[in-house]
């Protein structure tokens, strides 16, 4: 299970998946997405597992976004990227056992979206959350426009999506984005504590609860598909090309509304 950039370990029927690209602040690339997809495909087939923890390697980041440098501007390529991300994150969201994101630092862009696809989130006090895609002239492509309003409400979600601002762990908890805030380095321990409590309960009942809560929100699947299409469309604009170039060149972008 896992691969070179998604490391897997097990203890007490709990699987821990660690995204390990610390040199890139654990940014999501094709290998990370494939590792997550394959890992959760295997989780779905294993009746012995009772929970999953998802975290990032190092102390700086959970996942600091998608690897922008690996993006291609071809429409079909971006649609495929968005669709595979949709399928992978849906596997996480619909996992039959509880999945907790142990957020140890930056959870930005695709990292915030990955955390939101999990059933619960435990964050270190130095964690930072945000959807900064608008700063690049693009939109979230892995569910950010759909899951963020579900968790924190329409008004605040729009503010964060439209400004690209980051928020800290305590604000994220107050908004309902995060379940618990702990001292740095204690996220996995807290997530394990929660999952061990869940494993003491009836497993069939727990699985049904997850499925039924997910069912309540299934009407947003159409919105997720619309996000994939419009994510790809954004990359055809001059603003997106300018935003990505400015990010790579570490300068302020000049957007022209084209």
Residues of the domain holding 30: 1-184+202-258
Active site residue 113: yes
Q: Are strands 166-168 and 120-124 parallel, antiparallel or unpaired?
A: unpaired
Tell me, yes or no, whether 101 lies in a domain.
yes
Tell me, yes or no, whether 197 lies in a domain.
no
Q: Hey, how many other C-beta atoms are within 10 angstroms of the C-beta on 218?
A: 9
CATH number of the structural domain spanning residue 23: 3.90.226.10
Q: Answer yes or no: are the C-beta atoms of 27 and 5 closer than 8 Å.
A: no
Q: Hey, how many other C-beta atoms are within 10 angstroms of the C-beta on 69?
A: 11
Per-residue pLDDT of the chain (258 residues), as tens digits, is 668 999 999 999 999 999 999 999 999 998 999 999 999 999 999 999 999 999 999 989 999 998 877 666 565 666 777 788 889 999 999 999 999 999 999 999 999 999 999 999 999 999 999 999 999 999 998 999 999 999 999 999 999 999 999 999 999 999 999 999 999 999 999 999 999 999 999 999 999 999 999 887 766 777 777 877 887 788 788 888 888 888 888 888 898 888
Tell me, yes or no, whether 173 lies in a domain.
yes
Tell me, yes or no, whether 191 lies in a domain.
no
Q: In what helix (H) or strand (E) does residue 232 lie, and over which residues does it extend? A: helix 221-234
Give one word for 124, left, alpha or beta, with left for phi > 0 and alpha for psi -120 to 50: beta
Number of domains, the chain: 1
Active site residue 133: yes
Catalytic hit among 41, 42, 45, 133: 133
Tell me, yes or no, whether 107 lies in a domain.
yes
* The model scores a pTM over 0.75: yes
Tell me, yes or no, whether 215 lies in a domain.
yes
Half-sphere exposure of 91 (CA within 13 A, CB side): 19
Tell me, yes or no, whether 85 lies in a domain.
yes
Euclidean distance between CA atoms 79 and 82, whole angstroms: 5
Catalytic hit among 42, 59, 113, 238: 113
Tell me, yes or no, whether 195 lies in a domain.
no
């Amino acid at each position: 299970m896992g691969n070179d950039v998604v490391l897997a370990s097990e203890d007490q029927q709990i699987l821990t998946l660690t995204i390990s690209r610390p040199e890139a602040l654990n940014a999501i690339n094709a290998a990370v997405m494939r590792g997550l997809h394959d890992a959760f495909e295997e989780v779905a087939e294993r009746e012995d597992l009772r929970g999953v923890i998802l975290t990032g390697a190092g102390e700086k980041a959970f996942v600091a976004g998608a690897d922008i440098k690996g993006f291609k501007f071809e429409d079909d390529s971006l649609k495929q990227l968005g669709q595979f991300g949709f399928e992978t994150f849906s596997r996480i969201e619909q996992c039959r056992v509880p999945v907790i994101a142990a957020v140890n630092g930056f959870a930005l862009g695709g990292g915030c979206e990955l955390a939101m696809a999990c059933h619960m989130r435990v964050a270190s006090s130095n964690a930072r959350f945000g959807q900064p895609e608008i700063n690049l002239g693009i939109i979230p492509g892995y569910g950010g426009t759909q899951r963020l309003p579900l968790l924190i409400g329409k008004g605040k979600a729009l503010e964060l999506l439209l400004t690209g601002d980051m928020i800290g762990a305590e604000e994220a908890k107050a908004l309902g984005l995060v379940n618990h805030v702990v001292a740095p380095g204690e996220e996995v321990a807290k997530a394990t504590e929660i999952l061990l409590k869940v494993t003491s309960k009836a497993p069939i009942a727990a699985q049904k609860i997850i499925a039924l809560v997910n069912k309540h929100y299934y009407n947003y699947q159409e919105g997720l598909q619309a996000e994939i299409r419009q994510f790809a469309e954004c990359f055809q604009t001059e603003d997106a090309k300018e935003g990505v170039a400015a990010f790579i060149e570490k300068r302020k972008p000049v957007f022209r509304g084209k």
